[in-house]
Structure 1
Amino acid sequence: MDNLATTWVGATAKQISRAVRRGDTTAVQVVADHLEQIGISDPSLAAFRVVRGGEAITEAEKVDDQEDLANLPLAGVPVAVKENTPVAGLPTWFGSAAARSAVAEEDHEVVRRLRGAGAVVVGVTRMPEMGLWATTDGPDEATRNPWALDRTPGGSSGGSAAAVAAGLVPIAHGNDGLGSVRIPAACCGLIGLKPGRDVVPRDLGVDGWLGLVENGILATTVSDAALGFSVMAGRTPAKLVQPEKLRVGVSLRSPVAGVRPDEPNREAVATASKILVASGHNTVTAEPAYSTVVGLTGLATWFACAYQEAEASGVDLKKLQPRTRRHIRLGKLMIKRGWAKQSQRDAWREKSIQFFADNNIDVLLTPALAATPPPADGHAAGSWRSNMQVNMRYAPYAAPWNIAGLPAIVVPIGLRPDGLPVGIQLVGPPDSELLLLAIAGQFEVANPWPRHAFV
């Protein structure tokens, strides 16, 4: 733990909230510790777009002044919020000065819930322009992976993942439209949960990115992920229940034709399968029915979302990055030709739900990524084609489950030979978020992972 500012940096959200509620420390002290650590580490990471500093201390004082802390499950916990989600008093950046909106007058509902539980927003974290990419960089700044500064923390919730992996906050908010929580979780060795449809308030962009996007959580422990999820879902935090004997489908097949997982990602799935069996579960081969139609539906929706977001915001397209402009142009074409149809997304959702019944499985296990995280730099200035190739070749496994609206989680499994984390993805039917978290808890007990990569 080199460069740690004080003892509260690196503590879990549950440890911090318990200590604040008991009076063992104060929210002000905890937040001050984390702000100091952000000052030490963030210059090399660029995880944050804005650090709230004095405002966060004032917010922490209000937590300490509350008469009854017992009902605050996140009392004094520093959190980060992804920059496309309104935080009162700050602009909503959307990954780009060109796309930035006016100062928000009120919090997004998930931010309101986090604050209502006693959490303190220390800042907003960086994302790629308009959240379109699985790398987090811009023309002047690249967010870096704490495990290897020359590598990306993923995207689009890359800043949130980097902040958690470096111990700058114990948990962070992210949102996931085509893998934007799970991909950074896999890159940075974190738990990353994308809830299913209509579980956590969405209210992002035009119709929630045509139904693709969900607000989720990034954390270093399963209990912290479960706590953050419960708060954002408006639920009373509950202890996870040990799952009974499950039947787990296993698939290495990539949703993108011609892309195969590399050896470390295949080994991660093999290791996960052994852990599941040792935990009393059964594993069977089960191949989702990825098809050309599903792939084209995903692409058409991705493009269409970019166009609709640009139209709704009135952004000056000339000020956007070339890769983003082309994405928007393609989106206009998709909508004009009727290729981004809700009926196609609905059909895949129905087929995906039926997949669990047809194969008599409770959850599906897949790789989280297909390859090592790409370099941190150069993508914003690169061509649209090169960005598409990078995205689809290293991170193809997440997107189908956004189209289906099913819950999915990434769980760390270990380290690759290059020293970067490697993880797996678990997907479940509707309303299986707590089951996925409980299975992740079994992995955590059987195969503990390093919680931080301090820089």
Structure 2
Amino acid sequence: MGAQEFPIGGPAAALAARVRAGTIAPVDVVTEALARISSENRKIHAFNVVRAQQARAEAVELAARDDLDALPLAGVPVAIKQNIAVAGVPTRTGSAAAATDPAQVDHPVVARLRAAGAIVVGVTAMPELGLWATTDEAEIVTRNPRDVGRTAGGSSGGAAAAVAAGLVPIAHGNDGLGSIRVPAAACGIFGIKPGRQVVPAEIGANSWAGMAENGVLATTVSDAALALSVLAGRPDLAELLPPQRLRVGLAVAPPSRLVRMDRHWTAAARTAGARAAAAGHLVEPVDLPYGDAAQAMLLRWPSLALADADRLPHPELLQRRTRRHLAVGRLIRRLRLVRASQVDRIEAQMGDFFENFDVVITPTLAAPPPKAKVWSGRGWAANVLSSARYAPFTGVWNLLGWPAASVPMGTHPTAHTPLAAQLVGPPGSEATLLGLAAQLELTN
């Protein structure tokens, strides 16, 4: 793909175009990003490691490359979530129990971003082992740039905060129960979790039972598409072609009757449906066949990080809430309450449903994000209830391994926090979701 073919529609794409054209030097781009981080990070705690010296040196090296005009992310500053390897930085997974030795080599996702010309300026904060839908660590709370009194979400909360605050235009995140879409919705930015085997997903052997995927958070759909095309090694994903007329299901009911919906989050999904209809798509109110999805998610959640926890060199330093969560997970595993047949039933029901629909729109969240506080110091039950109450819509698509995205849909009229809708499609529908999201974004 030649330089002239890259989309120019977001800050990352525009920066890369200027770097390729020689109108701005990579080191100037990186220096500006580092200045923003220095100024703002103390307010929101998006980053826990800033690679200032290394990033500047890498920007100088980048400028000397003879293939600069062919790099889709030339000079773009990016952030990486701290649970995948960045050479020279400890892979801490949000935990004091993790190893402090620096990683020796980059994770494949990081390597692909670097090969595309991106500069890693730092790694972002996350809750311990990625288990929680709020982000804090060692009494340092990651705050939402849209309302610093509220959480940025989790577990890619630091990544979402970095993008929403304008510290970087693109951030890596990963998503095992909604950990990209939840913070994207909380912070009012775009986030996409690809389906299985689209992007290298190695986070650790047996980590998260194969439910976690590496993806992207960005200020615009076009920037996210560009970054996802790099992570997936698929230039076609950057093209953002308008999809042909889609059959869209509008499903506003939550997966469980126990969930109390904030009516403004329901309205956000309806707004997305109306915009999809205005773009020419056939939109129909539907009830998704969730079946036992809520139960299946709750049974799996406590055991998802057991493999990660077993590799920790200092398990005695795990937070109290995490130790309790893992103990519940071990009990569930001992009782053999998690069975493959549970997911098989849900997948069969959803597969039948999607015979008649191309995309489904749901609310991304059920309520505004919780208050920003030291959730790691609170009890296990309080953490479980808080996470489950406001983020019930996302996890089912991790069970199935299907692609899903969160698209901003305005502002909550009383909480004054962002609203968002979730777009979901069957395996292989990443390009469709991106194209539809871009259409919704144009009318946002």
TM-score strictly above 0.5: yes
Q: Find the counterpart in structure 2 of residue 365 from structure 1.
A: 361
2:384 to 382, 385, 388: 388
Q: Find the counterpart in structure 2 of residue 439 from structure 1.
A: 436
Between 398-407 and 300-309, the greater mean CA deviation after superposition: 300-309
Q: Quick one: percent identity of the two aligned structures?
A: 49
Q: What is the alpha-carbon distance in structure 2 between the residues aligned to residue 154 and residue 256 of structure 1?
A: 21
Deviations 1:249-279 (A, max 9, x none): 0111111331132121111112111111111
Q: What is the alpha-carbon distance in structure 1 between the residues aligned to residue 114 and residue 347 of structure 2?
A: 33
SS at match of 1:243: coil
Runs of 5+ unmatched residues, structure 1: 1-9, 448-455
Q: Find the counterpart in structure 2 of residue 273 from structure 1.
A: 273
Deviations 1:122-154 (A, max 9, x none): 000000011000000123200000011110010
Runs of 4+ in 1 over 6 A off after TM superposition: none
Does the C-alpha gap of structure 1 residues 81 and 413 become closer, same or farther in structure 2, counting only changes over 3 Å?
same
Runs of 5+ unmatched residues, structure 2: 1-8
Does the C-alpha gap of structure 1 residues 198 and 269 become closer, same or farther in structure 2, counting only changes over 3 Å?
same
Instruction: Tell me, yes or no, if the aligned pair for 2:81 and 2:159 is still in contact at 8 Å.
Output: yes
Q: What is the alpha-carbon distance in structure 2 between the residues aligned to residue 301 and residue 313 of structure 1?
A: 20
SS at match of 2:255: coil
2:371 to 371, 375, 398: 375
Q: Find the counterpart in structure 2 of residue 453 from structure 1.
A: none
Q: What is the alpha-carbon distance in structure 1 between the residues aligned to residue 275 and residue 150 of structure 2?
A: 29
Does the C-alpha gap of structure 1 residues 286 and 206 become closer, same or farther in structure 2, counting only changes over 3 Å?
farther
Q: What is the alpha-carbon distance in structure 1 between the residues aligned to residue 207 and residue 323 of structure 2?
A: 20
SS at match of 1:361: coil
Q: Find the counterpart in structure 1 of residue 125 from structure 2.
A: 126
Q: What is the alpha-carbon distance in structure 2 between the residues aligned to residue 168 and residue 231 of structure 1?
A: 21
Matched, 1:352 2:368: no
Q: Find the counterpart in structure 2 of residue 6 from structure 1.
A: none
Q: What is the alpha-carbon distance in structure 2 between the residues aligned to residue 47 and residue 156 of structure 1?
A: 12
Instruction: Tell me, yes or no, if the aligned pair for 1:307 and 1:327 is still in contact at 8 Å.
Output: no
Q: Find the counterpart in structure 2 of residue 295 from structure 1.
A: 294
Does the C-alpha gap of structure 1 residues 315 and 30 become closer, same or farther in structure 2, counting only changes over 3 Å?
same
Q: What is the alpha-carbon distance in structure 1 between the residues aligned to residue 348 and residue 20 of structure 2?
A: 45
Amino acid at match of 1:325: R
Q: What is the alpha-carbon distance in structure 2 between the residues aligned to residue 16 and residue 29 of structure 1?
A: 11
Between 11-20 and 23-32, the greater mean CA deviation after superposition: 11-20
Q: What is the alpha-carbon distance in structure 1 between the residues aligned to residue 195 and residue 214 of structure 2?
A: 10
TM-aligned CA deviation for residue 286 of structure 1: 2.1
Q: What is the alpha-carbon distance in structure 2 between the residues aligned to residue 230 and residue 349 of structure 1?
A: 27
Q: Find the counterpart in structure 1 of residue 418 from structure 2.
A: 421
Q: What is the alpha-carbon distance in structure 1 between the residues aligned to residue 274 and residue 304 of structure 2?
A: 40
Amino acid at match of 1:223: S
Amino acid at match of 1:61: V
Q: Find the counterpart in structure 2 of residue 327 from structure 1.
A: 325
Superposition map of 1:101-140 within 5 A: 102-140=101-139
TM-aligned CA deviation for residue 101 of structure 1: 5.1
Does the C-alpha gap of structure 1 residues 138 and 256 become closer, same or farther in structure 2, counting only changes over 3 Å?
farther
Q: Find the counterpart in structure 2 of residue 398 from structure 1.
A: 394
Instruction: Tell me, yes or no, if the aligned pair for 1:349 and 1:405 is still in contact at 8 Å.
Output: no
Q: What is the alpha-carbon distance in structure 2 between the residues aligned to residue 420 and residue 162 of structure 1?
A: 13
SS at match of 2:258: coil
Instruction: Tell me, yes or no, if the aligned pair for 1:304 and 1:340 is still in contact at 8 Å.
Output: no
Instruction: Tell me, yes or no, if the aligned pair for 2:99 and 2:312 is still in contact at 8 Å.
Output: no
Q: What is the alpha-carbon distance in structure 1 between the residues aligned to residue 408 and residue 152 of structure 2?
A: 14
Q: What is the alpha-carbon distance in structure 2 between the residues aligned to residue 136 and residue 345 of structure 1?
A: 28
Instruction: Tell me, yes or no, if the aligned pair for 2:134 and 2:153 is still in contact at 8 Å.
Output: yes
Instruction: Tell me, yes or no, if the aligned pair for 1:250 and 1:286 is still in contact at 8 Å.
Output: yes
SS at match of 2:149: coil
Q: Find the counterpart in structure 2 of residue 69 from structure 1.
A: 68
Instruction: Tell me, yes or no, if the aligned pair for 1:306 and 1:327 is still in contact at 8 Å.
Output: no
Q: What is the alpha-carbon distance in structure 1 between the residues aligned to residue 10 and residue 175 of structure 2?
A: 26
Deviations 1:325-364 (A, max 9, x none): 011101111221222233433443333223201xx11100
Amino acid at match of 1:148: D
Instruction: Tell me, yes or no, if the aligned pair for 2:300 and 2:338 is still in contact at 8 Å.
Output: yes
Amino acid at match of 1:442: Q
Deviations 1:182-205 (A, max 9, x none): 000000111100000111000113
SS at match of 2:136: coil
Amino acid at match of 1:392: A
Q: What is the alpha-carbon distance in structure 1 between the residues aligned to residue 85 and residue 138 of structure 2?
A: 23
Superposition map of 1:45-64 within 5 A: 45-64=44-63
SS at match of 2:214: strand
Q: Find the counterpart in structure 2 of residue 250 from structure 1.
A: 250
SS at match of 2:406: strand
TM-aligned CA deviation for residue 283 of structure 1: 1.2
Q: What is the alpha-carbon distance in structure 2 between the residues aligned to residue 281 and residue 315 of structure 1?
A: 53
TM-aligned CA deviation for residue 67 of structure 1: 1.2
Deviations 1:365-417 (A, max 9, x none): 00010001101103111111011110111111000000010000000010112
TM-score, normalised relative to structure 1:
0.93
Q: Find the counterpart in structure 2 of residue 4 from structure 1.
A: none
Does the C-alpha gap of structure 1 residues 295 and 314 become closer, same or farther in structure 2, counting only changes over 3 Å?
farther
TM-score, normalised relative to structure 2:
0.95
Deviations 1:299-333 (A, max 9, x none): 222211222221133442x3111110011101111
Between 142-151 and 411-420, the greater mean CA deviation after superposition: 411-420
TM-aligned CA deviation for residue 11 of structure 1: 6.9
Q: Find the counterpart in structure 2 of residue 218 from structure 1.
A: 217
Amino acid at match of 1:161: A
TM-aligned CA deviation for residue 433 of structure 1: 0.5
Amino acid at match of 2:225: A
Instruction: Tell me, yes or no, if the aligned pair for 1:414 and 1:422 is still in contact at 8 Å.
Output: yes
Deviations 1:68-108 (A, max 9, x none): 21210000000000000100011001002222453110000
Q: What is the alpha-carbon distance in structure 2 between the residues aligned to residue 286 and residue 101 of structure 1?
A: 49
Between 306-315 and 282-291, the greater mean CA deviation after superposition: 306-315
